């Protein structure tokens, strides 16, 4: 008990003197995925070069029942989400958290361990990640593609390239 009181008093004194260490940046995995986003292909991607139109808006919502989204599984491996392309035909796609192997394959294991990246995947079709705005990431077969995420929300669609998500108010 005395040790806890001394630690608390020390923290108050250090804080009052301005020598308290700054808190670490928030772990991006703790942030919610729910929201509506503007979707924009990154410059130079296959989709941008071929003139594939970007969806006007995407929506990410939690799945509360596996019956809601075709392909969703109630497997107990953590929360699941669904991404839908607003105004476009087709059912929402299920999104599940990356497994450790996914981060390792992308070369992002250290970022994940430091709370600097969190990703969701929809099978082999696409993945969506959250990181701190301004982070530059490498990916691709030989880490030959780079993206500096302006918003901290980005993804990659198979055979199309990377994209940025901007939250809508």
Is residue 70, in this structure, part of any structural domain at all?
Answer: yes
**pLDDT number for residue 128:** 95
Name the token pair of 131: 């990181």
The neighbour count for residue 37, using CB atoms within 10 Å, is: 23
pTM score of the predicted model: 0.76
The residues facing 93 across adjacent strands are 83
- Stated as kind and residue range, the H or E segment containing 36 is strand 35-41
Name the token pair of 162: 């990377």
- In angstroms, rounded to a whole number, what is the distance separating the alpha carbons of residues 118 and 132? 10
**pLDDT number for residue 28:** 76
Is residue 40, in this structure, part of any structural domain at all?
Answer: yes
Q: How many domains does the chain have?
A: 1
Is residue 17, in this structure, part of any structural domain at all?
Answer: no
Domain containing residue 73: 30-167
- 3-state SS assignment for residue 167: strand
- In angstroms, rounded to a whole number, what is the distance separating the alpha carbons of residues 6 and 114? 30
**pLDDT number for residue 44:** 83
Is residue 11, in this structure, part of any structural domain at all?
Answer: no
Averaged pLDDT, groups of 10, the chain, 169 residues long = 30 33 54 91 88 90 76 66 87 87 90 93 88 87 79 91 91
**pLDDT number for residue 36:** 95
Is residue 111, in this structure, part of any structural domain at all?
Answer: yes
Is residue 149, in this structure, part of any structural domain at all?
Answer: yes
């Amino acid at each position: 008990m005395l040790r806890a009181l001394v630690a608390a008093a020390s923290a108050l004194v250090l804080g009052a003197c301005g020598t308290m260490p700054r808190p670490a940046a928030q772990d991006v995995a703790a942030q919610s995925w729910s929201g509506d986003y503007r979707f924009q292909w990154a410059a130079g991607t296959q989709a941008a070069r071929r003139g594939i139109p970007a969806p006007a808006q995407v929506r990410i919502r939690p799945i509360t029942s596996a019956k809601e989204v075709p392909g969703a599984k109630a497997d107990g491996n953590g929360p699941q989400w669904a991404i839908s392309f607003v105004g476009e035909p087709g059912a929402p796609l299920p999104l599940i958290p990356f497994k450790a192997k996914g981060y390792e394959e992308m070369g992002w294991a250290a970022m994940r361990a430091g709370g600097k990246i969190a990703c969701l995947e929809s099978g082999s079709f696409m993945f969506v990640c959250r990181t701190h705005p301004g982070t530059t990431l490498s990916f691709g077969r030989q880490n030959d593609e780079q993206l500096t995420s302006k918003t901290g929300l980005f993804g990659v669609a198979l055979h199309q390239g990377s994209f940025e998500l901007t939250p809508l108010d």
